[in-house]
A and B are shown apart, each in its own frame.
Chain A
Amino acid sequence: MDLDRLVFSFFNARVAAEAWPDIVKGFFVTLEVGLAVIATGLALGMALAMLRSFQVKLVNFVIIVFADVMRALPALAVIVILFFAFPYLGLPMSAFTATWLALSLVLAAFAEELFWAGIIAIPRGQWEAARSTGMTAWQTLAAVIVPQAVRLVVPPLTNRTIAITKGTALGSVVALSEILGASSSAASNLGNPTPLTLGAIAYLVLFIPFVWFGRWVETRFAWKR
Chain B
Amino acid sequence: MEALVHNFFNLAIIAKVWPYLLQGLWVTIKLSLVVIPIGMLGGLVIAVLSSLRRRWLNVFLIAYVDFFRAFPPLVLLLFIYYGLPFLKIELPAITAVAIGFLLNNSSYYGEIFRAGIESVPRGQWEAARSTGVTWFQTMRLVVLPQAVRNVLPDLISNTMEVVKLTTLASVVAIPELLNAARNAQALTYNPTPIVLAALMYLALLWPIVRLISRLEHRTIAMR
Interface set of A (CB-CB < 8 Å, partner B): 1-2, 5-6, 9-10, 68-69, 71-78, 80-81, 84-85, 88-90, 113-114, 117-118, 120-121, 152-153, 162-163, 166-170, 172-173, 179-180, 184, 187, 192-193, 196, 199-200, 203-204, 206-208, 210-212, 214-215, 223, 225
Contacts and interface: CB of A to CB of B under 8 A. Distances in A.
A225 B202 CA distance: 33
Contact of A5 (B82, B86, B208): B86
Contacts of B178: 74, 76-77, 80
Interface of B: 3-4, 7-8, 66-67, 69-75, 78-79, 82-83, 86-88, 119, 150, 160-161, 164-168, 170-171, 178, 182, 185, 190-191, 194-195, 197-198, 201-202, 204-206, 208-210, 212-213, 216-217, 220-223
A212 B63 CA distance: 11
Contacts of A120: 217, 221
13 contacts: A1-B87, A2-B87, A72-B204, A72-B205, A73-B164, A77-B194, A166-B71, A173-B171, A180-B75, A180-B78, A193-B79, A207-B72, A225-B223
B165 A74 contact: yes
Contacts of A169: 72, 74-75
Contacts of A167: 72
A54 B91 CA distance: 55
Contacts of A203: 70-72, 75
A72 B7 contact: no
A9 B82 CA distance: 11
Given A85-B194, A163-B161, A74 B223 contact: no
A72 B209 contact: yes
Contact of B220 (A9, A118, A192, A199): A118
A120 B217 CA distance: 9
Contacts of B222: 225
Contacts of B167: 74-77
Contacts of A88: 3, 7-8, 190-191
B52 to A, nearest CB: 20
A68 B209 contact: yes
B220 A81 contact: no
Contacts of A152: 220, 223
Of all A-B residue pairs in the complex, the 6 with the closest CB atoms, nearest first, are A85-B191, A207-B70, A169-B72, A74-B164, A72-B205, A9-B86
A225 B218 CA distance: 12
B69 A184 contact: no
Given A152-B223, A204-B70, A193 B198 contact: no
Given A76-B168, A76-B178, A225-B119, A84 B185 contact: yes
A9 B87 contact: yes
Contacts of B160: 72
A170 B83 CA distance: 18
Most A Cβ at <10 Å: residue of B67, B72, B88: B72
B83 A9 contact: yes
A200 B79 contact: yes
